[in-house]
Amino acid sequence: MIRLTFLGTGTSQGIPMIGCNCEVCRSLDSHDKRLRSSVMIERFDERPDERPKDILPDKPGHAIYTHPIGADARIVIDAGPDFRTQMLRENVKTLDAILLTHEHKDHMGGIDDVRSFNYFQGCAVPIYATERVGNAVKKDFDYAFNKNRYPGVPEIDLHTIFPNTPFDVAGFHIIPITGRHYMLPVTGYRIGNLAYLTDFNHIEDSQLEKLKGLDTLVINALRYEPHLSHFTVDEAINISHILKPHRTYLTHLSHQIGLYAQKKDTLPQGIEFAYDGLKIDIE
């Protein structure tokens, strides 16, 4: 079984947005509180009582976890500025890898916080990205790649992925999906019958072919009005109608979507607005 957890479902500024006094940003409904977009994908292959629980003592007060805690494998797609908050909220203690969609700060600004996983897992955290995005990681977090590194900097094991080349991470078989975010190339991912596309505003038919037969599609839908670099709600719905997945979740939502309570029942059957903390199990 694969479990999808929405760590964040908001746009680049999150909701509430600083300085905004709209009804969504003032809402007390937890569904209207949206951190920067990210998801966690976990695999549960064994029965809970069969999963490894051993930890190896390293030194007083410190233990190295040798297996993912509570799951057989765990990866995160994007690590934005809210990464630390998201990991704490979901009580994540181990992480196998991070996949990056593109280099904008709302998707990779929290990479420094892999330091905790370095400490407790006793190893560098693998990060998978295209060459261009990997170069941005090395530029923005240059102190993690210096020859003479300051003690305690994040330990990153950077891997280059290629647009049309599937790859394996922690037992997950991953198919990259390429699109455009205005003029910027962006990478989505298909993992089994799950696909995650964020910050797309265009996708070629050849890439849509890779997305046939999905159970679950997650796709960005910034707002109802046209936008330069994001799918609108209607455009995301159209992609869903083309692909015909069993269920579709809209993410990377701005406050312009409106109140969740008022909008949640306005979408076609099988399509829903995602919200932070939502968990979906996929057999």
pLDDT tens digits, the chain, 283 residues: what are they? 999 999 999 999 999 999 999 999 999 999 999 999 999 999 998 665 555 555 666 555 566 777 788 899 999 999 999 999 999 999 999 999 999 999 999 999 999 999 999 999 999 999 999 999 999 999 999 999 998 888 899 999 999 999 989 999 999 999 999 999 999 999 999 999 999 999 999 999 999 999 999 999 999 999 999 999 999 999 999 999 999 999 999 999 999 999 999 999 999 999 999 999 999 999 8
Question: How many domains in the chain?
Answer: 1
Distance CA 37, CA 19 (A): 20
Query: In degrees, to the nearest 5, what angle opens at C-alpha 168 toward C-alphas 97 and 197?
Result: 70
What is the per-residue pLDDT for 67? 75
Residue type, position 42, single letter: E
Residue 207 tokens read as: 């890439």
The reported pTM is: 0.95
Q: In the numeric block, which tokens belong to residue 9? A: 């479902």
Q: What is the pLDDT of residue 27?
A: 98
Residue range(s) defining the domain that contains residue 253 = 2-282
The strand pairing partners of 159, in sequence order, are: 128
Burial class (CB in 10 A: 0-12, 13-18, 19+), 282: middle
The single-letter DSSP state of residue 221 is -
Residue 245 exposure: Cα atoms within 13 Å on the Cβ side? 29
CA atoms within 13 A on the CB side of 118: 17
DSSP β-ladder status, 2-8 and 38-43: antiparallel
Position of tokens 């992480």?
A: 95
Q: Specify the pLDDT at position 63.
A: 67
Task: Tell me how far apart the alpha carbons of residues 267 and 255 are, in angstroms, rounded to a whole number.
Answer: 17
Dist CA 163 CA 206 (whole Å): 12
10 Å CB burial of residue 89 (0-12, 13-18, 19+) is: middle
DSSP state of 35: P
What CATH number corresponds to the domain at position 137?
A: 3.60.15.10
pLDDT for residue 109: 98
232 neighbors 223 (Cβ within 8 angstroms) = yes
